[in-house]
């Protein structure tokens, strides 16, 4: 119980005041050009006020062609700077760390949204995606780094590199999707090269106290669990990120892969020697017992997604009452409105099975 509300320090930058991080949550509320809207500002700053030790933005695209959702926050142009600056300032004023999640959807960008065929490590018929040239991969890496510099300029404490959920960096990691024969394809070292070069570039070009992290997901989207464990090992050994965020979708689950069954998925990551890097997990953490389960399993902190959509002050609720139970699903749209979600976000949540009352 005590540990949940103890600060957590990182190798670089300020400490987090407790073990609760707001998970990155796509909310469709930005303006069409990727600039921040008042609705998105309100939704996020309310979470910072509600006691989250770290408030992360939704996935924010680093290239226009990498947009994955309508109303997505952008971080690919200096036009985004005023909104980002306002957001970082207010989150930090609430005593929460402010982090931008850097994203590129790759082949998962809808062509009607980006007005072109989506891009991918290799041609992909299923998604109608075209392969990036080697020079374009180098530009992609550069644009992730430039987006990190822009986030720092806006006053954010750091960035999280989105390497999860089948988006472009996960597409590079996948031995199935990535069929390249240059230095970005083939062996795992080559497939993880974009991630490694992005981290290296951010470290070189951003300040010494800039918090850099990575999100990975070990399953689905043609990922190989063994590969993802190796990537985690690699970033732990390199020690140049501050935390690894494992998106497990259910922190208590067993792996899908037969070869790894018989123990929890979380244990494959908590057992690794993480050196100075901190480890967080996300997936169906709704009660104090779930948070304790994760910390007891060896995680340093938790990320809260749906619990934070339901309650802007989820950490404060748990601090007041260890038996706090979130409102049961489905919820009324009015409840979400009171919790700071704008109309577009509520409409998006209506598409999540059983979340919003019809
Ligand atoms: C509405 C919604 C939007 C999401 N958007 C993102 C996102 O932008 N980036 C990301 O890495 N994960 C995203 N996720 C995954 C969450 O960050 C989180 O890992 C997942 O929801 C599991 O946590 P939970 O069970 O507490 O919701 C999203 C999840 C939901 C429900």
Confidence of residue 341 (pLDDT cuts 50, 70, 90): very high
31 contacts: CB under 8 Å, gap ≥ 6: 37, 71
CA-closest residue to ligand 1 atom 14: 25
Average pLDDT over residues 226-254: 98
Instruction: Identify the domain containing residue 177 by its residue range.
Output: 2-326
Number of domains in the chain: 1
Residue 295 lies in a domain: yes
Residue 335 lies in a domain: no
d(CA 187, CA 199): 19
Q: Match 């990575």 to its residue by tokens.
A: 214
Is residue 139 pLDDT above 70, yes or no? Answer: yes
pLDDT digits (tens, 9 = 90+) for 177-205: 999 999 999 999 999 999 999 999 999 99
Task: Could you list the beta-strand ranges (E) of the chain.
Answer: 20-22, 54-61, 97-103, 119-120, 130-131, 158-163, 211-216, 243-247, 278-282, 301-304
> In the prediction, which pLDDT does 2 show?
73
d(CA 13, CA 24): 20
Pocket test for ligand 1, best of 21, 22, 23, 66 (most atoms within 8 A of CB): 23
Q: What is the CATH number of the domain that holds 274?
A: 3.20.20.70
Residue 354 lies in a domain: no
Tell me how far the alpha carbon of residue 283 lies from the centroid of ligand 1, in angstroms. 8
Residue 204 lies in a domain: yes
Mean pLDDT score of the chain, rounded to an integer?
98
d(CA 137, CA 182): 10
Residue 334 lies in a domain: no
Tell me how far the alpha carbon of residue 330 lies from the centroid of ligand 1, in angstroms. 17
pLDDT digits (tens, 9 = 90+) for 89-121: 999 999 999 999 999 999 999 999 999 999 999
Residue 306 Cβ < 6 Å to ligand 1 = yes
CA-closest residue to ligand 1 atom 21: 305
Residue 60 Cβ < 6 Å to ligand 1 = no
Q: Match 């470290």 to its residue by tokens.
A: 203
Residue 98 lies in a domain: yes
Residue 338 lies in a domain: no
pLDDT > 70 fraction of the chain, expressed in percent and rounded = 100
Residue 180 lies in a domain: yes
Cis peptide before 34 (omega within 30 of 0): no
Confidence of residue 210 (pLDDT cuts 50, 70, 90): very high
Q: Match 């949540």 to its residue by tokens.
A: 349
Residue 192 Cβ < 6 Å to ligand 1 = no
266 token code pair: 């979380």
Contact, 8 vs 16, CB < 8 A?
A: yes
Average pLDDT over residues 255-284: 98
Q: Report the DSSP pairing between strands 243-247 and 211-216.
A: parallel
Residue 26 Cβ < 6 Å to ligand 1 = yes
Helix (H, G, I), strand (E, B) or coil at 160: strand
CA-to-CA separations, 309 to 85, 98, 113, 341, in angstroms, rounded: 23, 18, 26, 8
Confidence of residue 329 (pLDDT cuts 50, 70, 90): very high
Residue 24 Cβ < 6 Å to ligand 1 = yes
Tell me how far the alpha carbon of residue 299 lies from the centroid of ligand 1, in angstroms. 18
> In the prediction, which pLDDT does 1 show?
58
Q: Which atom of ligand 1 is nearest to the CA of 59?
A: 8
Is residue 299 pLDDT above 90, yes or no? Answer: yes
Contact, 279 vs 269, CB < 8 A?
A: yes
Contact, 209 vs 220, CB < 8 A?
A: no
């Amino acid at each position: 119980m005590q540990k949940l509300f103890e600060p957590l320090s990182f190798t670089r930058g300020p400490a987090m005041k407790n073990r609760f991080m707001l998970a990155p949550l796509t909310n469709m509320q930005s303006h069409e050009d990727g600039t921040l809207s008042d609705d998105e500002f309100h939704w996020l700053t309310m979470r910072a006020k509600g006691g989250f030790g770290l408030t992360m933005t939704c996935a924010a695209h680093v290239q226009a062609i990498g947009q994955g959702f309508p109303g997505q926050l952008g971080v690919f142009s200096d036009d985004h700077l005023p909104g980002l600056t306002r957001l970082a300032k207010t989150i930090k004023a609430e005593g929460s760390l402010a982090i931008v999640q850097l994203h590129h959807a790759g082949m998962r960008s809808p062509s009607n949204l980006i007005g072109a065929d989506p891009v991918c490590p290799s041609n992909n018929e299923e998604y109608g995606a075209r392969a990036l040239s080697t020079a374009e991969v180098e530009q992609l890496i550069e644009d992730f780094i430039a987006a990190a510099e822009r986030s720092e300029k806006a006053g954010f404490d750091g960035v999280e590199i989105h390497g999860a959920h089948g988006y472009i960096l996960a597409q590079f990691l996948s031995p199935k999707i990535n069929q390249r024969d240059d230095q970005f394809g083939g062996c795992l070292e080559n497939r993880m090269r974009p991630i490694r070069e992005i981290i290296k570039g951010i470290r070189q070009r951003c300040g010494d106290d800039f918090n850099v992290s990575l999100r990975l997901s070990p399953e689905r989207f043609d990922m190989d669990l063994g590969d993802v464990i190796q990537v985690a090992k690699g970033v732990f050994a390199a020690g140049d990120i501050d935390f690894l965020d494992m998106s497990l979708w259910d922190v208590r689950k067993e792996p899908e892969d037969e070869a790894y069954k018989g123990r929890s998925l979380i244990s494959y990551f908590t057992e690794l020697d993480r050196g100075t890097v901190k480890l967080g997990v996300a997936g169906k953490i709704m009660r104090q017992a779930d948070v304790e389960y994760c910390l007891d399993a060896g995680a340093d902190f938790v990320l809260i997604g749906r619990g934070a959509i339901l309650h802007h002050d989820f950490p404060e609720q748990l601090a007041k009452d260890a038996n706090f139970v979130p409102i049961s699903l489905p919820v009324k749209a009015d409840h979400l409105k009171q919790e700071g979600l704008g109309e577009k976000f509520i409409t998006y949540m209506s598409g999540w099975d059983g979340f919003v009352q019809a």
